[in-house]
Structures are given as structure tokens and as C-alpha cells.
Amino acid sequence: MSDTQEKLSRELLAAQRALAEALARCESHDAEHLAAANEQESARRKLEQAHQEWMSALDTVGDPIFLHDKEFRILRCNRAYQQCAGIPFHEIIGRPYYEIFPKTGAPLAGCLRVMGKAGSAADVEEIAVADVIYRSRTFSVYGKQGDYLHSAHILEDITGRKRMETLLGGQKQMLEMIATGTPLPETMAALVRLVEGQSPGMLASILLLDEDGVHIRHLAASSLPAGFVASMDGQPIGSCAGSCGTAAYRKEPVYVEDIATDPLWERYRAATLPYGLRACWSSPIFDERQQVLGTFAMYYRQPGLPQPDHLRAIAAATHIATIAINHHRTMAALRESNARIRNIFEQASDGIYIISANNRYLDVNQRGLELLGYTRDELLRMGVADVLAQHEVARLAVEPARMMSGIPHLAEWEHVRKDGSTFPGEVSARRLDGQSYLAIVRDLTERKRAELALQKSEAAFRMLFESSRDAIMTASPETGFLSANPATLALFGCRDEQEFISLSPAAFSPEYQPDGRRSDKKSQEMMRLALDKGSHFFEWTHRRMDGTEFFANVLLTRMEADGKKLLQATVRDITERKQAEKELAKTGRALRTLSAGNESLIRAEDEPQLLQAMCRVAVEIGGYRMAWVGYVEHDAQCSIRPMAQAGFEQGYLEQAHITWMDNERGRGPTGLAA
């Protein structure tokens, strides 16, 4: 081989080795590229899966949600948003959201605010779309380098909440109007406007039932056509008297879907349809005794039945109307009562004076003028000091102030008439308010003469004390009983007065009173009240010597003897009255049970429902432990088949096998009744 060939051979081998190495490197690079491509494809699939899971999660959310870029073009949205937009997904993506939903014509203010802030930010605002109110929560997301990525919007439907807030605010206003004495028609007109504002297209009305209980008249119906209101005003209630008249008659809601076809409106259809009224839903308004006061009604110009929102509005409106009408009637009754009280005030046989805190006359009845001999105009320009004997004036600096502090005043004062004559007057006074007090003055002239006669006959007075049917005793707060009349000894079962006096007051009371307080501690409080106020009246549970207990009314009256404060106690056994009250409560429960049973009878749709309702009423209202209804069967076993039950039954009816057969098992209460 020549040198040239050898050189070419070496170069060829070197080139082959270089080519082999290059090929090896290419194969390595291809493997790396393939691995990278596989990894990229796996990441793409995971990203696609995560996107699908994210979109699936968003589609389960009931609130519309969408994402947009910095040009406000929609990147993604959930199904709720697509349903609000009303167009397919492919027509939504890439378009500005303010052209799709909500169609505001420009980006939302909150959206602009969060996009103008550095870093992640959020904003909340309320927007209205047709009749729907949304709370829009906007979030802007930025990357690690501070670059804007996208914004997300969540639209929460708060229409119901806003309407409820409006309704609650309106109810508060209604209650304020009621409390401040706003005339009833004005208050009810405001209520009608409030309810109408909750449902566009609604026309509401409130009618009152006349005192005759037969005719209804419009109290508020500002949105209804005047001609329709006039034609319906004063119509009688009845079983087929439109929605309102029928609701008042039945004492239950009446919802008419279409006035044009419903038989309840047959008599009034010709007067109603020309005004475009098609649906009417009426509910009765009751007082606290479940007597009908009137009705609340909703009218619509298209046929339909109430939805849950309507029913809630009806319930709220009837509740407010009940309060307003009852308050109006209560205030009217109060005015009548005040008129009667004024008449009593004027006709009273004692002088009655209303006096200011600085002892100036503010008002007086006719007898009060007669006692002092002044005209009304004269006396109302005078003060109390002007009609008192000179030696009494100094007491004005003490007694009225004590009485104005809440201590009732009862004392004798010497008065001077206009003609200069004097008379002793018993003054019973107590505070009316922080600026005045009431004084009742009784001329004691005749009583003084009688007292003088009584002083001459101590024996007669003692006989009166001894013959009193009420137990009367005197006691010292420190040492105990001092005396007792025969009625006291008989009431408590003592042999004589000495035995009674020898015992402490605690011996005649159980350890605890019905309110759970210890008798010894509570009795000390009662005595303190009597000593402070002059007298105190209360109920007490006493115990006789034989251990039996009884209810009593007790009047403690403060007395003074030899400079010491004593108490006189008058005790009257009210056990029979308590028993009568218990019987009255029992009768009241029976009447409530009967009333609820009547209501169940009206409302029941079928016999099983009626029987079950009657059993439930007997248990829940009547207070029975268990109630059941059975049918008498004329079979061989003379069985009684239970049909309904309520209360604590625990399998009794199933195990008892009740029969009306003429044997030992059939002679139980149920069998005998059958």
C-alpha cells in the first residue's frame, strides 16, 4: 500500500469513527426528544383532565361564574352562566362579557377597580338585571412577576334576600306607624304599597268586615280601578262571594286562578273582567280570638296561582294588618274607656285633684270644686297651700316629696273653704308620673262625728273585731304575734289566743312558697314592704296546726302604738276561689279543644285525616295522655277496630284486642260505651 493509500485509509477510518459517534449522539438525542415529547403529552392530558374536572365542578355551582382576560373577553364560564346568557358556549367564549351577560354595555365598576390594583384583589357590588338583583364578586389574579392573568366573576342571586330586607324594613315602618297612632287607612295604604312593591304587576287590597259581620268594605286599594272598588264595596260575604267574600265566610284562604271561569266569581264577573283582572288570591285577617276582621287580597291581570314568595308576602301582610286593626280597635276602646273614666271622675262622690309636683292644681272634678267652694278657673290658678289651714302648710315641704318618691300617702289635712270655713279632709294621694300626683279628698266631718261616737263604745268596736269573718291579727316585726281574733283561731286550728301568740309566724307557713322561695325569707320581705309603703297586699300559702295547707289573701297594714311600728294582718282563705280558677282553666282548655276540633272538622279533606286530627287535638290541646277512635265491628268477636290514635300509645291498641262482647273483656269503658 502506498503512503497515499495508507493516509486515505486512516482518514476513512477516522471519518467512519466520527460518523459512528455522530450517529450515536443522534440516537441519544432522539431518545431524549421522544421522552420529552411523551412527558409533554402526559402533562397535556393531565392539564386537560384538570380543566375538565374544574369545569365539571363549576357546573355544579348554581351561581353564574365566568373568567375574562384584560380585554374583558370571556375565557371560561360555567353552565349557570351559559343558561343566563341563553346562547351556546362556543358563542360566549372570546366575546366581552358585558355584551353577553350581564348586558351592561361596559365593564362593571368593581371589575375595573380590581384590575387597577397590583397583586391579587377582590371587589363586591350589586347589579340589577331586569327583575333580578345579583351580588357580583370579582377577583383578579396576577402572576409571580406581577403580570395580570385573568379576572373571575361570581354572580349571586340575592333578589329574594333584598326583597325580604325591603319587606322587613317596610314591616318596621308599619309598626312605627301603628305605634305612633297613624290613622288606620293611611297605615293600610302604606302596607298595600309595600306588598305591591314585592311583586311587579300585583294589585293589592285590604277589606274590613262591618260590625254586622255580613258586609265587607275597602280599607285600602289604591292601585285597583276606582270603578271596580266602588262596585265591590259593601258586598255581603258568603259561600260564593268572589275571593274575599268567600274567604271571610269560610275563614280560610281562597285562591282563584281565573276569575273568567271560577264559579265563585259568577255574580261579579261582569263587573270585574272589563278592568282586566283575572286572578285573585284572598286570605282572611283574624283577631286574637280567631274572629274575622277582614281580608287581604292580591289581584293579577293574568290567570295564575300563588307561588311560595306570594304566600310569604300574604302571611306577612295579614300579620301586619292584624296588628294594625287590633291596635286601632284597642285604641278606640281605650278612648271610650277614658271617656268612661272621665265620667266617673266627674261623678265621684269624693273630691279628686290632679296636682303638679310643685303643688299647683292641674285638674279637678265637680265634687272637688264643691268641697272648696271655688270655680274651676279660680282653683286652677291656685296652689295647694292656698286651701290649707295655716298650721298644715309646713307639711307641704315633706309629704308631697315623699309621695312623689313612690310612697303612697294617706293622711288627714285641715282644709279652708273659699268662705273661710274649715273641714277635715282625708287625703289619699299617689304619684301619677314624674310631674304630677293624684289626690282624693274625702270630707271627714261626718266621719269624725261617727268616730267620736265609736270612741264611746269600745265594747262595740271589740265585738266587731271579734265577729269578723276574716282572720285579723297584730304582730311586732321583732317579737311576733300580739293578738288574734276568733276567726284567726278557727282558721289556723288553735285552741285559744294564747296558743296562737306563743307560736312564731313560721309555724303557720310551709317551708317553701309555691314560687320556690323559703317562707321565712319571703315573709320578712313582705313585712318590710308593708312597713315601708304603709300597706302590702299579696297571696300566701299558710299551714294549719294539723298540717293542712291553704291559699290566702293577706293584707299587711303598718300601725303605730306607743311609738313602735306594728303590723296588722288580715287573712282570708281563698282556697275555694283557687279551685274555681282551676276549674275555669279546665273549662278554657275544653273550649280550646272544642274550637280546634271544629277547625279540624272544617279543614279535613277525608275521614282518616279528620279522625287523626281529632285525636291529635285531644292530646296536644286537651291535655290527654292518649286518644284513639275505633269503629264497632259486627263480627263474631264483636271487635272494635282502631282507626286513629295520638299520644302515648306504645302498642296498647294492638295488644288490647278491645271488644264490645258481653263478657268480662267487653265490659271495659270502651265496650260499655259501644
Q: pLDDT tens for residues 513-572?
A: 999 999 999 999 999 999 999 999 999 999 999 999 999 999 999 988 888 899 999 999
Which cell numbers in the block locate residue 450? 261617727
Selection from 531, 518, 252, 533 nearest residue 408 by Cα: 533
Strand pairing partners for 65? Answer: 154
pLDDT at residue 534, as a whole number: 92
Q: Compute the distance between CA of residue 151 and CA of residue 143 in angstroms, rounded to an integer.
A: 12
When computed from its CA atoms, the radius of gyration of the chain, rounded to whole angstroms, is 45
Residue 637's SS3 state is: coil
Asked if 430 contacts 437 with a C-beta cutoff of 8 angstroms, the reply is yes
Instruction: List, in order, residues 6 or more apart from 92 with CB less than 8 Å away.
Output: 74, 77, 81, 82, 85, 100
Selection from 381, 385, 379, 358 nearest residue 367 by Cα: 379
What element of type H or E holds 541?
strand 535-543
The residue length of the chain stands at 674
Which cell numbers in the block locate residue 150? 385573568
Confidence of residue 9 (pLDDT cuts 50, 70, 90): low
Strand pairing partners for 512? Answer: 518
Q: Compute the distance between CA of residue 111 and CA of residue 127 in angstroms, rounded to an integer.
A: 12
Taking the CB of residue 334, how many other CB atoms lie within 10 A of it?
10
Confidence of residue 23 (pLDDT cuts 50, 70, 90): low
pLDDT at residue 20, as a whole number: 61
Confidence of residue 2 (pLDDT cuts 50, 70, 90): very low
What element of type H or E holds 556?
strand 549-561
What phi and psi values does residue 664 have, to the nearest 5 degrees?
Answer: -60, -40
pTM flag (> 0.85): no
44, pLDDT greater than 70:
no
Q: pLDDT tens-digit profile of 153-190?
A: 999 988 777 777 777 777 777 778 887 888 889 888 98
**Residue 103 Cα distances to 96, 128, 129, 130, 427, angstroms:** 10, 10, 8, 10, 81
CATH class of the region 459-573: alpha beta
Residue 392's SS3 state is: helix
Instruction: List, in order, residues 6 or more apart from 53 with CB less than 8 Å away.
Output: none
Asked if the domains at 163-333 and 459-573 fall in one CATH topology, the answer is yes
Which CATH architecture group holds 163-333?
2-Layer Sandwich (3.30)
Q: Write down the CATH number for the domain with range 61-157.
A: 3.30.450.20
Looking at residue 46, its amino acid is: K
Which cell numbers in the block locate residue 627? 286518644
Q: Where are the domains of the chain?
A: 1-51, 61-157, 163-333, 348-450, 459-573, 580-673
Which letter does DSSP use for residue 385 in this model? G
pLDDT at residue 527, as a whole number: 92
Selection from 135, 179, 172 nearest residue 157 by Cα: 135
Selection from 538, 479, 540 nearest residue 510 by Cα: 540
Q: Compute the distance between CA of residue 427 and CA of residue 440 in angstroms, rounded to an integer.
A: 6
Helices (DSSP H) in 392-477: which residue ranges?
399-404, 445-455, 458-467
Count of CA atoms in the C-beta half-sphere (13 A) of 271 = 14
498, pLDDT greater than 60:
yes
Asked if 208 contacts 219 with a C-beta cutoff of 8 angstroms, the reply is yes
Asked if 426 contacts 444 with a C-beta cutoff of 8 angstroms, the reply is yes
- The CATH topology of domain 348-450 is Beta-Lactamase (3.30.450)
Average pLDDT, the chain: 86
pLDDT at residue 22, as a whole number: 62
